[in-house]
Amino acid sequence: MIMEDKFSKTDIQKPENIVYKRTDLLVDRPLSYCPGCGHGTAHRMLMEVIEEMDIMEKTIGVSPVGCSVLAYDFLNIDMLGAAHGRAPALATAIKRMWPDHFVFTYQGDGDLAAIGTGETIHACNRGENITIIFINNGIYGMTGGQMAPTTLPGMRSSTSPYGRDVPTMGHPLKITELVAQLPGVYYVTRQSVHTPSNVRKTKKAIRKAFELQKENKGLCFIEIVSNCNSGWKMTPVQSNKWMEENMFPFYQLGDIKLDGKLVERKETVEKE
Amino acid sequence: MAKIKGDIVINTERCKGCEVCIAACPFTVIQMSKEVNSKGYHFAMKVNDECTGCTNCALVCPDGVITVYRAKVATE
Amino acid sequence: MGELRLMKGNEAVAEAAVRAGCDGYFGYPITPQSEVMEYLMAEKPFERTGMVVLQAESEVAAINMIYGGAGTGKMVMTSSSSPGISLMQEGISYLAGAELPALIVNIVRGGPGLGTIQPSQADYFQAVKGGGHGDYKMLVLAPASVQEMCDHVKLGFDKAFQYRTPVMILSDGAIGQMMEKVVLFDQIPRRTDAEVVAQCPWASNGRPKTRNHNIITSLDLDPAGQERVNLKLQAKYKMMEQNEVLYEEISCDDAEYLFVAFGLSARICQKAIDLARAKGIKVGLFRPITLFPFPATEVSNVGNRVKGILVVEMNAGQMIEDVKLSVGCKVKIEHFGRFGGIIPSPDEVVRALEQKIIGG
């Protein structure tokens, strides 16, 4: 039995006074994600954009393999679950055969930047008119915190228990900067969803990508740097702070490509 | 005189107690409960009347459990 | 009557796809089937019917494009040859698991590994017994002529949608490359988007306000749910076994001996029958046209009337296992095969019959 506190009920709580509520385009069921995980917020922003643009009937989403493998259970739109890494291939065919529909993929770093690198780069290079939403938390969350292509140097994971050793395990892959080089890619941005202002920026970026898709401008790629408090073995609040201090210096937030042109930015380097 | 007042309602059964909303609230309106919900999570709850309805907490809530209200209320 | 043309088997597949109302072809070049996509790109079906043709970056991408297109209810296909089909196995398993209709054409070449580019029938097991992970089957058609290459495309799409299953055309490099006359069926119009939506209420092609969201997936983490999925698939395969068996009997009425062969081997056996009968050996041919479902009862009926059976395949002995399971052990059953890209001659086949069955 939940105790009601004395502040629970007020006169303001009337339907006409609602200024923010969970969109109905999220299925009314608990999300499967860990407490504090950014996936939920990213899902919600995506669905808010689809709701505000009123394009549910013309939107087809592709979910990946990884933590968000069950995204199709939460996003209340037509969805396809792809094999690991292959979401851009599915999306390519879907968009080619339903060119007036909005098609997006939602993929994690293992899915998009490791096993699916080929599909990602070629869909980007063909300039498919789709939107790719890329959640980068630097780790394989679903399988239990293994090293990802985006794991930072020195960062611990269950398969780099003493920290990522660059000479033997390789460098973290900035796939977002990589795809931004491709002429088929029109808009590339890196955002996060850990503070209110970042959430607002992410939503704007998603909206922009869907608007550009309507204009057939080419592929739009949105990276959302996110936390994995379970994989990083921190509390959610700690993980957001750790993300600001460690992920953002390497995965610098902001626009990377606008209107088909690379934005001038300072190159970020690995720190040991 | 009228002033803007805000309010929040938290779906405590869906709250996973991540505390991200607490950090986002500019007026320390939210704290964690001592009780737990049926999933065993301490949940976020409103602890004062300072809410302005800014929606920050609801925006960052990963599970989307917060509904925000805002209204003009008359002041004496 | 349809249009009569002289075509390569691979070209017949491509032309038949356009005429069947196919919505999309996604493939990757590999010998000996590259003519399928080459023909399509030259023919510009995107102008003729609106059909999409796309060269993918790999067979892995191609089969997953098929999965994407099929999941929206569109009529899609790919073609490849043995090594490429091996790469597609994961995607085919997903297609079967998610119950998606698709047509996959395998113009088989010799293996294992990179093998050779010459014709072979060594992918029988891979096609008929599953190939990828999990308990699934595909409906497998084995054309023996360019005409059948054409006709099986239409048949394959029909069955793929009827059963919501991947269908494979298992051909080989010889039938793919050889030219024969073929009567092409008339153009069937591509379905409109509205017709696709109406015909495929299960497909994910945009959720109208009038229904819940559709989900295309092969995942069910609940073991009881996943067992239900498996039982449903098995029931579907049972239905295919009851209703979809196709085969051909040639000179079987008075036969004392029997060849069992599919595809190209069956054509060689037809010539071998002439040679053998000229020598006074009464031999017939049983040709399975569907390899799954296998014509088990039918081959058993014929097989149990003869003194001996020679299974002729361009492999080391694959279909012979199904023949033995079907016919039982009362009749002598032997295998004759050439492999690695070698096509057996009719003489060789007759000699093998004499040595392994009649004299053996």
CATH of the domain at C321: 3.40.50.920
Mean pLDDT (whole number) for C130-152: 97
In the prediction, which pLDDT does A1 show?
A: 42
Shared-domain flag, residues C305 and C166:
no
pLDDT(B76) > 70: no
C68 Cα to chain A: minimum distance (Å): 4
Instruction: Decide yes or no: CATH 3.40.50.300 for domain B2-74.
Output: no
Mark yes or no for CB contact A82/C64 under 8 Å: yes
Q: Average pLDDT in the C201-228 region?
A: 97
Q: What is the pLDDT of residues A123-155, one digit of tens each?
A: 999 999 999 999 999 999 999 999 999 999 999
Give domain limits for chain B: 2-74
Residue C216 falls within a domain, yes or no?
no
Contact A97 C72 (CB under 8 A): yes
Q: Which residues in chain C have their CB less than 8 angstroms from residue A79's CB?
A: 204, 213-216
Shortest Cα distance, chain A CAs vs residue C232, angstroms: 20
Counted across chains A and B, CB pairs separated by less than 8 A come out at: 117
Q: Answer yes or no: are the C-beta atoms of A225 and A136 closer than 8 Å.
A: yes
Report whether pLDDT(C154) > 60. Answer: yes
Query: Is the four-CA dihedral C114, C119, C122, C128 of positive or negative sign?
Result: positive
Instruction: Identify whether C218 is part of a domain.
Output: no
pLDDT at A4 over 60: no
Distance from the Cα of B28 to chain A's closest Cα (Å) equals: 14
Q: Does A53 touch chain C (CB under 8 A)?
A: no
What CATH number is given to the structural domain containing C110? Answer: 3.40.50.970
Q: Which residue of C has its CA nearest to A59?
A: C206
Distance CA A108, CA C303 (A): 56
Distance, first Cα to last Cα, chain B? 7
Which residue range is the domain that position C108 belongs to? 3-195
Question: CA of A128: which chain C residue's CA is closest?
Answer: C54
Higher-scoring residue by pLDDT: C116, A11: C116
Give A18's contacts in chain B (Cβ within 8 Å).
67-69
**pLDDT number for residue A11:** 86
Question: How many domains does chain C divide into?
Answer: 2
Residue C275 lies in a domain: yes
Instruction: Report d(CA B33, CA A38) in Å as an integer.
Output: 22
Task: Say if the Cβ atoms of B62 and A17 lie within 8 Å.
Answer: no
A67 touches chain C (CB under 8 A): no
> Do the chains contact at A86 and C209, CB–CB below 8 Å?
no
B70 with A13: Cβ contact below 8 A: no
Q: Which residue of C has its CA nearest to A91?
A: C68
Give tens-digit pLDDT for C251-299.
999 999 999 999 999 999 999 999 999 999 999 999 999 999 999 999 9
Q: What pLDDT is recorded for position B1? A: 73
Would you say residue C87 has pLDDT above 50?
yes
| Chains A and C: 3 or more CB pairs within 8 Å of each other | yes
Measured between CA atoms, the residue of chain B closest to residue A194 is: B60
Mean pLDDT of B8-19: 97
Q: What tokens appear for C241 in the block? A: 């076994």
Per CB-CB distance under 8 Å, the chain B contacts of A19 are 6, 53, 55, 68-70
- pLDDT on residue A249: 96
Both C169 and C303 in one domain: the answer is: no
Measuring CA to CA, how many Å separate C259 from each of A246, A258, B12, C333?
A: 71, 68, 73, 10
Side chain identity, residue A77: I
Q: For residue C93, what are the contacts with CB-CB under 8 A and spacing of at least 6? A: C130, C131, C132, C133, C134, C136, C218
C-alpha closest to that of C34 among C177, C182, C180:
C177
Return mean pLDDT, chain C.
97
Band (pLDDT 50/70/90 cuts) for residue B73 is: confident
Nearest to A101 among C54, C206, C214 (CB): C206
Q: Is residue C214 part of a domain?
A: no
Q: Which of C177, C195, C213 is the last residue of a domain?
A: C195
Query: Please, what are the domains in chain A?
Result: 32-261 (3.40.50.970)
- Provide the angle, in degrees to the nearest 10, between the axes of the packed helices C89-97 and C223-243: 90
